[in-house]
A and B are shown apart, each in its own frame.
Chain A
Amino acid sequence: MSSAADHHAEVDPAYRLAHHFESPEQQFETGKFGMWAFLVTEILFFSGLFTAYSVYRSNEADLFSYASGYLDTTLGCINTAVLILSSLTMAWAVRCAQLGQQRGLKFCLIVTLLCAGGFMGIKSVEYHHKIHNGLFPNAHFGAHEDPDGVPLHITDESGATVANPAARPAPENLRSFFGIYFCMTGLHGLHVLIGMGVIFWLYLRARRGEFGPKYFGPIDFTALYWHVVDLIWIFLFPLLYLIH
């Protein structure tokens, strides 16, 4: 019987086998299972918000239909495509690492980062428009324009502020839709930012040539996380932007 230390001495250092694992396979599968378990908790975490969404939408169908009109479908659609592209490049990064393609790996990680940055950029443009229109659910909440961009209030001849008859009047619970909107997209955006940080860390490690066919666990597990971020957006997009 050889001790664990002896056993590890025979293992190629390229596997970066930690002392508490029996074999590279066990190390890889353990990390992967850990990530899957974490992803399940992530999905359960988001499910609280999806439940809030479902309960409010089932009670206030008209409100959701009206408020969804404030969201820019074109920007949402572009963001969906950008995130799907980043998922592709992340999956490709895993392939590159598995095959030892160092240049491809670094390129895929950079493209993923750029896509993630683009997603957040578009998201901030959208947030800016909403906040500018008084749709951020704080103490000063109150829409200035209806979903078609028509001012909700106008000044009459006497100088008094009156409701604009040309605008579609805002439903009374408009604020609850935007509470849900900002919580769901905000939590998702936070996940994108965290993902960007981790992918940047992977890029720095990839530049030092730390990954290869024998050791690519961190790339693989981060990719799994990144795909879950994409999965959540796949549901958020039609549920928030595409309501009749």
Chain B
Amino acid sequence: MTDNHDHHNELAHVMPVKVLLGVFGALLVLTGATVWVATHDLGRFDLSLALIIATVKAVLVALYFMHLRYDKVFNAIVFVVGILFVILFISLAVMDTGNYQSQLLRNADHVIRYR
């Protein structure tokens, strides 16, 4: 690359235009894919597939738009640990409701339900 030297910054990595546009295109294609997939009934794989596509999009945004791939590893660790705690939070809550919700409903004398 001849213009590599001009497109340099002393404080941080400069994202090439090609990469920015490539990621933008990939995000649009994946958005189309997730809408298209949703028009088909895949039973219990519906949710997992939608989440997989969303996660791929999120990883693209984080790695390239947010420069995480070229950033200090420490920032990535902070971010990923945060995500792990979110997963822990959601899984434990879902596990708990999955195990005890039916019992709660059975034991309740009257269950308040909103219309």
> In the complex the two chains form, is B54's CB within 8 Å of A230's CB?
no
> In the complex the two chains form, is B65's CB within 8 Å of A95's CB?
no
Q: A26-53: contact bitstring with B at CB < 8 Å (1 yes, 0 no)?
A: 0011001100110110011001001100
Question: Does A167 reach chain B (CB closer than 8 Å)?
Answer: no
CA–CA, A29 to B90, complex, Å?
32
Question: Does B107 reach chain A (CB closer than 8 Å)?
Answer: no
User: What's the interface size class on B, roughly?
Assistant: 35 or more
B61-115, CB < 8 A from A: 61-62, 64-67, 71-72, 74-75, 78-79, 81-83, 85-86, 89-90, 93-94, 97-98, 101, 113-115
B28-43, CB < 8 A from A: 28, 31, 34-35, 38, 41
Interface of A is mostly: helix
* Residues in chain A near residue B71, CB distance under 8 A: 32
- Other-chain contact of B34, A39, A216, A238 (Cβ < 8 Å): A238
What's the minimum C-beta distance from B12 to chain A, rounded to whole angstroms?
Answer: 7
Residue of chain A at shortest CB distance from B96: A55
* Residues in chain A near residue B83, CB distance under 8 A: 43
Q: A116-143: contact bitstring with B at CB < 8 Å (1 yes, 0 no)?
A: 0000000000000000000000000110
> In the complex the two chains form, is A231's CB within 8 Å of B14's CB?
no
- Other-chain contact of A54, B14, B81, B90, B114 (Cβ < 8 Å): B90
> In the complex the two chains form, is B72's CB within 8 Å of A29's CB?
yes
* Residues in chain A near residue B41, CB distance under 8 A: 244
9 A–B contacts from the bound complex (CB under 8 Å): A24-B11, A44-B82, A73-B38, A84-B27, A235-B54, A238-B51, A238-B54, A243-B46, A244-B38
The 9 closest A-B pairs by CB, nearest first: A40-B82, A242-B38, A238-B50, A98-B9, A47-B86, A88-B24, A91-B65, A36-B75, A175-B114
